[in-house]
């Protein structure tokens, strides 16, 4: 027996139809359904923001009353369990969603994934730590809805805005980066470094393939990639102080910024990761040549041995630098560093043979140590790049 009332009797049919109607009838209104068709997705990247997300949600709820909105948190597997707090929040309110990313880090990548996971016509990006003034969101939305803008930027550097919470060093760095972006990339907005903006999702989707997932400066990337084709309006706001938790800004942000500027200058023909890898490679070349000089010219070791030692030292320093800079979003930690280093040696051993072989044959014909050393090291760099991306820092 199925447990269903028998078909064919008027009473039984009626009961079954009633059950089916029950199944297809929408349940009680959720806050999202009650507000109508989804208009706005607020995307919030989080890393160790457990104590901030609840307060942010309540502030959004208060300020976005009457608007059909949702918030998409993109958490990079925070050790403080932010994603667990978000899951709890999402179970209680269907306007909250949480994307938990594993094995990846990066503010820009998190924002891109969050916006691409949204289906609302408009998407905002803001920090979790309550430094961005959420009360500006309705105004930003109406500027987009009216067609006056395709991008609205919360700006600290126009009249009425401020970044009073910055210390002198950070204010100087921010002003310097803004000036570089404006002059070198010819970005015309006053605050291209802002992390607070709202954009038409269709415009963002069109630009998304050009954007870099690395780095901190998603807005600068969006504006530079749009190349003046995005109608932007700035509205002032005051950048507040972080509520709880620690800043994720570190000195490496400057490097990310430099890489982004260079990538945009070369029309995205070279990726930020490749630029960083090439930069580390050129440092490795210096390390290689210095070791070669020390061994061959000062210690008088035979050339082949000196060249092999140079390659080994350069490979080790390249591994360490790449782990800290080039692949810092997938940085190997703890025991994985040793495993990665051994793997790095292993996959590059063919490159090492090629390195020494090429250098030796060049040196054989033309005994100029730096020429032979450079030729060999270049061979090694190409191998290292191809192999490391495939085996050492491969994406999970
Ligand atoms: N998903 C994800 N979010 C991140 C990452 N790094 C930073 N964030 C989040 O991005 C937002 C901005 O980072 P903050 O550390 O606040 O940077 P900031 O506002 O420039 O610096 P402070 O003024 O010191 O707070 C915060 O909500 C962070 O939790 C990351 O690697 N992944
Ligand atoms: Mg912050």
> pLDDT by residue (tens digit) across 224-238?
999 888 999 999 999
Q: Is 272 in the pocket of ligand 1 (CB under 6 A)?
A: no
Ligand minimally distant from the alpha carbon of residue 49? 1
> How would you classify the pairing of strands 122-125 and 197-200?
antiparallel
pLDDT of residue 122: 98
Q: Is 247 in the pocket of ligand 1 (CB under 6 A)?
A: yes
Q: Which residues pair with 320 in a beta bridge?
A: none
What count of other Cβ atoms lies within 10 Å of the Cβ of residue 208? 16
Residue 83, classified by CB atoms within 10 Å of its CB into exposed (0-12), middle (13-18) or buried (19+), is buried
Which ligand 1 atom is nearest residue 166's CA?
23
Q: Which residues pair with 124 in a beta bridge?
A: 42, 198
Q: Give the distance (Å) from ligand 1 centre to CA of residue 195.
A: 9
pLDDT of residue 282: 84
Concatenate the DSSP letters of all residues of 353-393 into one string. HHHHHHHHHHHHHS--HHHHHHHHHHHHHHHHHHHIIIIIS
Which ligand 1 atom is nearest residue 76's CA?
1
**What does the alpha-carbon distance between residue 211 and residue 200 come to, in Å, rounded to a whole number?**
16
Q: Give the distance (Å) from ligand 1 centre to CA of residue 386.
A: 31
**What does the alpha-carbon distance between residue 38 and residue 146 come to, in Å, rounded to a whole number?**
17
> Rounded to 5 degrees, what are φ and ψ at 70?
-145, 160
Q: Give the distance (Å) from ligand 2 centre to CA of residue 127.
A: 6
Q: Does residue 19 register a pLDDT over 60?
A: no
Q: Give the distance (Å) from ligand 2 centre to CA of residue 79.
A: 18
Q: Is 331 in the pocket of ligand 1 (CB under 6 A)?
A: no
Q: Does residue 18 register a pLDDT over 50?
A: no
Q: Are the beta carbons of 213 and 255 closer than 8 angstroms?
A: no
For the stretch 319-345, pLDDT in tens is 999 998 888 878 898 889 999 999 988
Q: Are the beta carbons of 374 and 281 closer than 8 angstroms?
A: no
pLDDT of residue 8: 39
Q: pLDDT band for position 27 (50/70/90)?
A: low
Query: Can you give the pTM of this predicted structure?
Result: 0.76
Q: Are the beta carbons of 64 and 40 closer than 8 angstroms?
A: yes
Q: Give the distance (Å) from ligand 1 centre to CA of residue 222.
A: 18
More confident residue, 345 or 296: 296
In this structure, is the dihedral angle defined by the CA atoms of residues 315, 321, 327 and 330, taken in order, positive or negative? Answer: positive
Characterize 39-77 residue by residue with b for buried, 16 or more Cβ atoms within 10 angstroms of its Cβ, and e for exposed: bbbbbbbbbbbbebbeebbeebbeebeebbbbbbbbbbe
Q: Is 248 in the pocket of ligand 1 (CB under 6 A)?
A: yes
pLDDT of residue 31: 64
More confident residue, 16 or 390: 390
Alpha-helical (H) ranges within the chain are 10-24, 31-34, 50-63, 82-92, 107-116, 137-145, 168-184, 201-207, 218-226, 252-265, 272-292, 303-321, 335-347, 349-365, 369-387
Q: Are the beta carbons of 15 and 5 closer than 8 angstroms?
A: yes
Ligand minimally distant from the alpha carbon of residue 107? 1
Most confident of the following: 72-76, 155-159, 295-299, 383-387: 72-76
Q: Is 78 in the pocket of ligand 1 (CB under 6 A)?
A: no
Which ligand 1 atom is nearest residue 170's CA?
23
């Amino acid at each position: 027996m199925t447990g269903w009332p028998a078909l064919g009797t008027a009473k039984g049919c009626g009961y079954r139809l009633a059950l089916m109607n029950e199944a297809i009838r929408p349940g009680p209104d959720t806050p999202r359904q009650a507000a109508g068709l989804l208009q706005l997705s607020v995307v919030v990247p989080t890393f160790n923001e457990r104590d901030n997300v609840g307060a942010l949600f309540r502030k959004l709820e208060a300020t976005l009353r009457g608007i059909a909105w949702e918030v998409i948190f993109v958490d990079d597997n925070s050790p403080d369990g932010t994603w667990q707090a978000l899951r709890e929040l999402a179970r209680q309110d269907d306007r909250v969603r949480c994307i938990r990313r594993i094995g990846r880090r990066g503010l820009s990548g998190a924002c891109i994934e969050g916006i691409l996971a949204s289906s609302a016509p408009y998407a905002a990006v803001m920090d979790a730590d309550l430094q961005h003034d959420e009360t500006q969101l309705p105004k930003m939305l109406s500027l987009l809805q009216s067609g006056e803008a395709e991008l609205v930027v919360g700006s600290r550097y126009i009249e009425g805005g401020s970044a009073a919470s910055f210390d002198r060093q950070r204010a100087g760095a921010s002003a310097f980066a803004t000036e570089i972006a404006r002059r070198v990339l010819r970005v015309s907005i006053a605050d291209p470094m802002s992390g607070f903006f709202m954009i038409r999702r269709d415009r963002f989707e069109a630009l998304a393939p050009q954007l870099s997932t690395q780095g901190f400066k998603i807005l600068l990337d969006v504006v530079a990639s749009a190349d003046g084709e995005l109608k932007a309006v700035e509205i002032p706001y005051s950048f507040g102080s972080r509520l709880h938790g620690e800043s994720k800004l570190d000195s490496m942000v400057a490097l990310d910024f430099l890489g982004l500027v260079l990538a945009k200058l070369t029309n995205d023909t070279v990726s930020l990761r490749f630029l960083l890898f090439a930069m580390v490679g050129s440092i490795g070349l210096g390390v290689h040549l210095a070791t070669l000089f020390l061994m061959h010219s000062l210690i008088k070791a035979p050339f082949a041995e000196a060249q092999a030692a140079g390659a080994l030292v350069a490979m080790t320093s390249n591994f360490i630098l790449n782990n800290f800079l080039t692949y810092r979003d997938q940085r190997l930690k703890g025991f994985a560093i040793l495993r990665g280093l051994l793997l790095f040696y292993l996959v590059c051993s063919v490159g090492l043979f090629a390195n020494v072989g090429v250098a030796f044959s060049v040196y054989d014909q033309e005994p100029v140590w730096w020429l032979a050393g450079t030729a060999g090291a270049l061979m090694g760099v190409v191998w290292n790049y191809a192999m490391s991306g495939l085996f050492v820092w491969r994406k999970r």
